[in-house]
Amino acid sequence: MATAAPPSGARAAAPRPYVTTCQSCHKADGSGMPGVFPRLNGRVGPVARTADGRKWLISTILFGQSGPITVDGKTIRGAMPAFARMSDSDVAQTLTWLAGSGPKPFTAAEVAAVRSQPGMTGARVGQMRAAAGVPAQ
């Protein structure tokens, strides 16, 4: 599992699952596209420090997310598709790389536990965002 520094500053190369699944929207450096695809750079690590934040991050990848969000003062009204086809280890590796060295690494078992929860939808994941303490900045 990757334990690289976060996407800001010097870091290890992005893991293959990020490159093949996430990079086309969120860019190689995690900067996203303001108002269209949210910036991940500098945002995942702080959220990954809480249990609710970790569950939301995993859920966002597995089940997608719908509903408006605000990132860096810009409202995004799109939807993130679900990537349930990603393996538990690929999700864990991607989130560990995005979170950097501050929070504990994500594990495949942690992803599997979230994946097993019934009734998750992109709309429910969007509602989880506030409970997870995701900042708008």
User: In angstroms, rounded to a whole number, what is the distance separating the alpha carbons of residues 109 and 114?
Assistant: 9
Total domains in the fold of the chain: 1
- The Cβ-side half-sphere exposure at 36, using a 13 Å CA radius, reads 7
User: In angstroms, rounded to a whole number, what is the distance separating the alpha carbons of residues 50 and 31?
Assistant: 23
Q: What is the reported pTM?
A: 0.89
Question: Residue 89 belongs to what domain range?
Answer: 16-130
> Is 7 part of any domain?
no
> Is 5 part of any domain?
no
What pLDDT, on a 0 to 100 scale, did the predictor assign at position 73? 87
What pLDDT, on a 0 to 100 scale, did the predictor assign at position 6? 44
> Is 8 part of any domain?
no
User: In angstroms, rounded to a whole number, what is the distance separating the alpha carbons of residues 137 and 71?
Assistant: 5
pLDDT digits (tens, 9 = 90+) for 28-56: 999 999 889 999 989 999 999 999 999 99
Residue type, 23: Q
> Is 90 part of any domain?
yes
Give the tokens for residue 18.
């990020």
Confidence of residue 130 (pLDDT cuts 50, 70, 90): confident
CATH at 91? 1.10.760.10
Confidence of residue 4 (pLDDT cuts 50, 70, 90): very low
